[in-house]
Amino acid sequence: MSFTGKYELESQENYEEFLEAIGLLSAKTDSKVQTEVVQEGNNFTWTQTIPNWTWSNKFTAGQESELKTMTGSKFKALVKMEGGKLSVQFPQYLFTAEVVNDKLVVNCITPGEKGVTLTRVSKRMSKTQHA
């Protein structure tokens, strides 16, 4: 299933615990997160938006890509696509995403014995078409 579309956050678990684990509790917001994904084959543009803030990455599944963290720090990582699930090892957590029943399911997992898993489920608002 294609990831392409616009999504709006429907539910999330362990949001504050995750932000605390990665040292970003000050970035907490109650605003609805919107995610737009454009997928053309293995090429992706992934954009998240909340009021007054947008974060975007372009990458190719199966290749090492230069990405940005939520704070704007750049890093390089291999973006994997296995069984319809994307995964990227960010500096402070493992990011996975998949489309399940037309919903975008994202997990961000911090390492260690006391690791925290942030789970976000977003409903698809529309499918973006590109010419």
CATH number where 11 lies: 2.40.128.20
One-letter amino acid of 82: E
Question: Looking at the predicted structure, is the pLDDT value of residue 62 above 90?
Answer: yes
Arithmetic mean of pLDDT over the chain: 90
For residues 33 and 11, give the distance between their C-alpha atoms in angstroms, rounded to a whole number: 10
Domain count, the chain: 1
pLDDT per residue as tens digits for the range 39-48 = 999 999 999 9
Closest to 65 measured CA to CA, from 82, 81, 77: 77
The pLDDT score that the predictor gives to residue 112 is 87
In a domain, 131, yes or no: no
- Residue 19, domain extent: 5-125
In a domain, 47, yes or no: yes
The pLDDT score that the predictor gives to residue 131 is 40
- The percentage of the chain sitting over the pLDDT mark of 90, rounded to a whole number, equals 69
pLDDT confidence band for 31 (50 / 70 / 90) = confident
Number of Cβ atoms within 10 Å of the Cβ of 99: 21
In a domain, 25, yes or no: yes
In a domain, 130, yes or no: no
Instruction: Give the N- to C-terminal CA distance of the chain in Å, as an integer.
Output: 19
| DSSP symbols for 15-38 | HHHHHHHTT-GGG---SPPEEEEE
Cα–Cα separations (whole angstroms), residue 8 to 53, 117, 123: 15, 20, 5
